[in-house]
Amino acid sequence: MASCHEVKEDAKVYEKTDKILLMGNPNVGKSVFFSSMTGINVVSSNFAGTTVSYTEGKFKLGEKTYTLIDVPGTYSMDATSEVEQVAISFMKSNPLAVICVLDATNLERNIKLGLDLLKYDVPIVFALNLLDVAKRHGLEINAALLAQELGAPVIPTVAVNNEGVDELKEELKKALTQQPQIGCSGCKGCPAACPAMKISDDDEDNWERAKIITARVRVKTDGKLSFLDKLGNSMLKPWPGIPIAILVIILSLGIIVGGGKALRAVLLLPLVNNLIVPFFKMLFGAILSEGILYNVLIGEYGIFVIGFEWIIALILPYVFLFYVVFSFLEDSGILPRLSVLFDNVMRKMGIQGGSMITILMGYGCAVPAIIGSRTATTRKERLIISAVVCFAVPCISQTGALISLFAGYSPILLVLMLLLSLVIMVIVSSILGRALKGKVDPMVIEIPNLLLPNGRSYRQKLLIRMKHFLVEAEGPMLLSIVIAALLKETGMLNQIAVYLEPIVSGWLGLPKEAVIALILGVVRREMAVAPLLAIEGLTALQAFVGGTVALLYLPCLSVFGILAKEFNAKVAVTIAVSTFATALFVAGIINQVAHLIM
Amino acid sequence: MVSITRRIRDKELVGQRMRTSNIANKSIHYYKNKERAKVKNNGKQISKKLDNSIYQAKDGKEYVITSAPEIGLLRSLGIVKDKSIHKRMTYKLGGPVLLMVESSEIAIGKDIAEQILVRG
């Protein structure tokens, strides 16, 4: 996942003549090497499938500059998913060299991929990574012997600690300048993957070969499982795994909701209300007289008023704390454990447990979740995941706005909203599971080791995500604030409100001012909530109905764009129309039923 | 047919090991999820014990894969014929099975796990 709202895919990259590929199984640390070598920070996580699209960056070796491509992880060179097809296309595009990252804890499978890559006749340098974890598991590997067996350099590395990266670069430099030595006569000690020996095209032969090499180079010793290894094992058992999982979820919500509220009340609200907004009011008050421009800038919906109130005081604390928590869950390896524990529940919803990780990503932002659904093996599963995310998973900005909206009422409203979101999720996935043609493959997932996140990678990830939020989400938010200010100050808002009154006030039971939420929600989902905060005298029912509309409302413009790109315009329009209709229908029903009961 | 007959091991009902060639012309109804296959021999139905599917195999034991479905990802993860694996557990209510292949833990959904046959 390169970023939040960015998918960089340019077919021209295949034509580049200076490219070096970073390849390997999923979750072996390729993205960590990429960041380390290029200085470009990319998001990496402790589960397979973090990189679903390639990332490219320049790096220098001696005097020359090369393009390093972080290729999505692949288990083999037989495309088993869209992501793996990308890896194969790169391998066929005449790269100068390949850095193949091997996972020392799963040597046989990784050597098998190495053998598959050796068939392409491209200089390869192997990075034997995760040696620290292998040692803990009682596995010692003779890297020199492995190099002899593979007929290519093998550098021991621990990428997260930057160990071995310089040596790897040095070997890569040599590999780029030297011709491969071919001339072995098949002597007795001939390496199992000697360049002179043609690597078999038969998959089973290569598995056998990988097995032989592994047996030759690996020695099992008495490993000592750490506390985290033992905890990781326990988390996979229903007892105590499920109680721990529930505790993790409650703790995460507590940190995000409670911490966000505290951060807002103690730091951000006083900062915005007592310092920033008064400063701009004073500044513009001194140079402008009252009028439309004055109001657009610092009026009720003024850009310099709600621009700070909504973005900094309302949304930012929740976004920040969500990424603090979610990045920890990603890097620690907890998420795949949750998906295994809840696979049976997910199957009943028509999807498999592995999809849970992708859906959880949607609580941050729907865009990476939809891109991340590429790891699904069937189109049907991808469609279900994407639809579920669009219908029932509020992004963190929207969640922050919803928390702020319900803060003035009972916390039960927030719980009810969460339950409503889960019910909609189950309904959408169940309907699509039955209605869509095709199948959803059962779960096949590798469980990563439970790790404490590496401080440097964790900080980098947080930094990247917050930077993307501030750069990419703030633009559209400011745009919607400008629209709000203009609509309000030109009187157009009142005119539109008259036209939409039967829906807004009649069917939904909301005050007519709430029409602004429906308009701005098209640009950003949280903007379907934020204007409700400015309406005085909103009842608990109106807040809940407004929140329901926002929860189920249209995907924002970025999500609409990515749906059209990843699927097609028809899918994007269908999802947009369905969510819009569902939002008005469900929220209206809640309002009407509540009025009948109360 | 041959691959299925190869999986058949003679047990208490017949009392002697059956060679695969002897039953090559018999129709076999292989029931997924069941340990037993019904074999029709000249109209007479007998019951044979098959290799376990990994889904039903006991937890906490080592097994050798005798047959695995042709799924690229499984093959890539090393779930191939003749591979030794350790079964850690089966999750209840239709959940996956958890296997150890080399040092890696792999969870496999019920529908696929039922098609992976093992002995040991």
Specify the higher pLDDT residue, A230 or A522.
Answer: A230
Residues of A in contact with B113 (CB under 8 A): 442
pLDDT tens readout for residues A244-274: 999 999 999 889 888 988 998 899 989 999 9
Write down how long chain B is.
Answer: 120
**Listed range (A53-57, A144-148, A194-198) with the worst mean pLDDT:** A194-198
B44-49/B52-53 β-pairing = unpaired
**Residue A198 CB-density burial (10 A; 0-12 exposed, 13-18 middle, 19+ buried):** exposed
Q: What is the mean pLDDT of residues A67-83?
A: 80
Which residues in B lie closer than 8 A to residue A236 (C-beta atoms)? 88-89, 98, 105
CB of A234 within 8 Å of a chain B CB? The answer is: no
Q: What is the mean pLDDT of chain A?
A: 85
**Residue A141 parent element (H or E):** strand A139-141
Q: What is the arithmetic mean of pLDDT over A419-439?
A: 93
Which residue is it, tokens 């288990």? A75
Locus of tokens 């947009």:
A576
Q: How far is CA A375 from the centre of its chain?
A: 12
For A303, the enclosing helix (H) or strand (E) is helix A303-308
Long-range contacts made by residues A188-195, C-beta under 8 angstroms, separation at least 24? A191/A148, A191/A149, A191/A150, A191/A151, A192/A149, A192/A216, A193/A114, A193/A115, A193/A118, A193/A149, A193/A150, A193/A151, A194/A151, A195/A118, A195/A151
> Looking at the domain covering B53-119, what would its CATH class be?
mainly beta
Q: Is the dihedral of CA A44, A46, A51, A56 positive or negative?
A: positive
Flag the least confident range among A135-149, A416-430, A480-494: A480-494
ipTM of the prediction: 0.75
CB A489 within 8 A of CB A292: yes
The pLDDT, as a whole number, for residue A168 is: 94
Angle between helices A396-407 and A316-332 (to 10 degrees): 130
Q: Does pLDDT of B89 surpass 90? A: yes
A520 compared with A150, residue with greater pLDDT:
A150
A53 in contact with B at a CB cutoff of 8 Å?
A: no
pLDDT-derived band at A185, boundaries 50, 70, 90: very low
Higher pLDDT among residues B107 and A221, named by residue: B107
Q: Which residues are CB-contacts of A21 (< 8 A; sequence separation ≥ 6)?
A: A69, A71, A90, A91, A95, A97, A98, A99
Minimum CA–CA partner of B110 in chain A = A442
Angle made by CA atoms A471, A474, A475, in degrees to the nearest 5 = 85
Half-sphere exposure of A470 (CA within 13 A, CB side): 11
Residue A350's pLDDT is what? 86
Q: Quick one: average pLDDT of A5-11? A: 50
| Residue A367: band (very low, low, confident or very high) from pLDDT cuts 50, 70, 90 | confident
Residue range A88-98: mean pLDDT, rounded: 90
For residue A123, the distance in angstroms to the closest alpha carbon of chain B comes to 23
pTM of the model: 0.75
Helices (H), A202-272: 203-217, 227-234, 238-253, 259-263, 269-271
- B100 in contact with A, Cβ within 8 Å: no
Cβ-Cβ contacts under 8 Å for A427 (sequence gap 6 or more): none
Report domain A11-220's class: alpha beta
Between these two residues, A386 and A330, which has the higher pLDDT value?
A386
For residues A338 and A369, the answer to whether their CB atoms sit within 8 Å is no
How distant is the alpha carbon of residue A538 from its chain centre?
Answer: 35
The pLDDT of residue A173 is: 92
pLDDT over 90 for what percent of chain A?
40
Stretch B94-103: mean pLDDT: 90
Confidence of residue A361 (pLDDT cuts 50, 70, 90): confident
Q: Which of A108, A348, A442 sits opposite B112 (nearest CB)?
A: A442
Mutation target vs A (from B105, B106, B110, B115; most A CBs, 10 A cutoff): B105
pLDDT over 80 at A12, yes or no: no
Burial (Cβ within 10 Å: 0-12, 13-18, ≥19) of residue B22: exposed
Task: Look at B71 and A444 and tell me if their CB atoms are within 8 Å.
Answer: yes
| Res. A10 pLDDT band, cuts 50 70 90 | low
A233: nearest CA partner in chain B = B105
Q: Which residue of A has its CA nearest to B106?
A: A446
Residue with more model confidence, A427 or A488: A427
At a CB cut-off of 8 Å and minimum separation 6, what does A181 contact?
A195
Query: Does the CB of B98 have a partner CB in chain A at under 8 Å?
Result: yes
CA distance B46 to B8: 12
Q: Which residues pair with A139 in a beta bridge?
A: A220
CA distance A583 to A391: 9
Supply A344's token pair. 């049976």
**Tens digits of per-residue pLDDT, A132-179?**
888 888 889 999 999 999 999 999 999 888 899 999 999 999 988 875
What Cα–Cα distance (Å) separates residue A267 from each residue in A259, A325, A382? 11, 20, 41
- Label residue B32 by pLDDT band (50, 70, 90): very low
With H, G, I as helix, E, B as strand and everything else as coil, classify residue A527. helix
Segment of A46-60, A330-344, A451-465 carrying the highest mean pLDDT: A330-344
**C-alpha angle A535-A540-A546 in degrees, rounded to nearest 5:** 60
Residue in A76, A78, A447 nearest the CB of B107: A447
- Residue A193's pLDDT band, with cuts at 50, 70 and 90, is very low
> Binning pLDDT at 50, 70 and 90, where does residue A472 land?
confident
Q: What is the mean pLDDT of residues A314-321?
A: 86
CB within 8 Å of chain A, chain B residues 34-93: 71-78, 80, 88-89, 91-93
pLDDT at A47: 58
pLDDT higher at A262 or A224: A262
pLDDT above 90 for B3: no
Range list for CATH 3.40.50.300 in chain A: 11-220
Identity at A115, one-letter amino acid code: L
User: Cβ–Cβ contacts within 10 Å for residue A570, how many?
Assistant: 10
Write out the E strands in A341-487. 444-447
Structure confidence by residue, pLDDT tens digits, A527-555: 888 888 888 889 999 999 999 999 998 88
Rounded Cα distance, B34 and B48, in Å? 11
> A147-161, A203-217, A478-492: which has the minimum mean pLDDT?
A478-492
Q: Is B14 touching A (CB cutoff 8 A)?
A: no
Residue A392 pLDDT class (50, 70, 90 cuts) = very high
The single-letter code of the amino acid at A473 is A
Look at residue B30 and tell me whether its pLDDT is greater than 50.
Answer: no
Element (H, E) at B48: strand B44-49
Which pLDDT value is given to residue A148? 93
Write down the domain spans for chain B: 2-50, 53-119
| Predicted confidence band of residue A81 (pLDDT cuts 50, 70, 90) | low
